[in-house]
Amino acid sequence: LSALMRLLISGICIEEKVGHRIALPLEAGDQGHVLVHFAVSNLVLDGDAQRQVLAVKGAMGKLPCLGCLNVVRDRESLPSDAFVTIANYDANRLELSTNQDVWEKADMLYSNRPPKMRKADFKELETALGLRYEPDGLLNDQSLRPHLPIVDVLTFDTMHIILCNGMADDEFAALFTSLAG
C-alpha cells in the first residue's frame, strides 16, 4: 500500500505537476485566467492506515508515534528522563518530530539495509526507529519530499482513533468493567 500511495502522490504532484501553478480559464473579469496553486495539505490516516501507507511500526515499535521524538512504548524503553511513555498526559513534555527527523529515520534504514547490516540487527533498528523499511514506499521517495512534508500533512482520523475501536471505547470498557465488578 505504501508503494501504491507513492505512485499515486508522485503521479499527482510530479508527473501532473498539480503542486505547481496552473492557469485555469475561470471568469476573472479582465484577466481571463486565474493562477491556482495546489498542494497536499492532509493525509487523513488512522493507526492501521499509518502502518500500511507510511510503513510505521505503530505500537509494535519502540517509538510508536511518527509525530513524536521522545514518546516510547513502555517504561522499560525509557533511555533517559527526556523520554516519556505513551501514558504521558503532559503535553509540555512532548518533543514533536519534524519532517527532517522522519526523512533521517527512513534514510538510516535505507543506508543500513541488509546485507550491510545483519537481518536480525536491522529488525532491531526498525523497531527502535518505529519504521519498517519499504524500498518502494512513500518515505523512501526522495523526489516526493519537497511535495509531501509528511509530519505537516499527517492528520489523524479522529473517528477511529478516539471513537470506533479507539481510546474512548477502551475507557468506557474499563469504566463498565469497574462498575460491574
Q: Which residues contact 139 (CB under 8 A, 6 or more apart)?
A: 2, 54, 55, 102, 103, 106, 131, 150
Q: Please, where are the H alpha helices in 16-142?
A: 47-53, 99-112, 119-129
Query: What pTM does this model have?
Result: 0.75
SS3 category, 72: strand
DSSP state of 67: T
**Per the structure block, which three cell numbers stand in for 82?**
527526556
Distance, in Å, from the CA atom of 22 to the CA atom of 33, rounded to the nearest integer, reads 10
What is the rounded CA–CA span in Å between residue 87 and residue 65?
12
Per-residue pLDDT of the chain (181 residues; tens, 9 = 90+): 999 999 988 888 888 777 665 656 666 667 666 666 677 788 888 888 889 999 999 878 888 888 889 988 888 777 888 999 888 888 899 999 999 999 999 999 999 999 999 999 999 999 989 999 999 999 999 999 998 899 999 887 776 566 666 667 777 778 888 888 7
CB-based contact 34:28 (threshold 8 Å)? yes
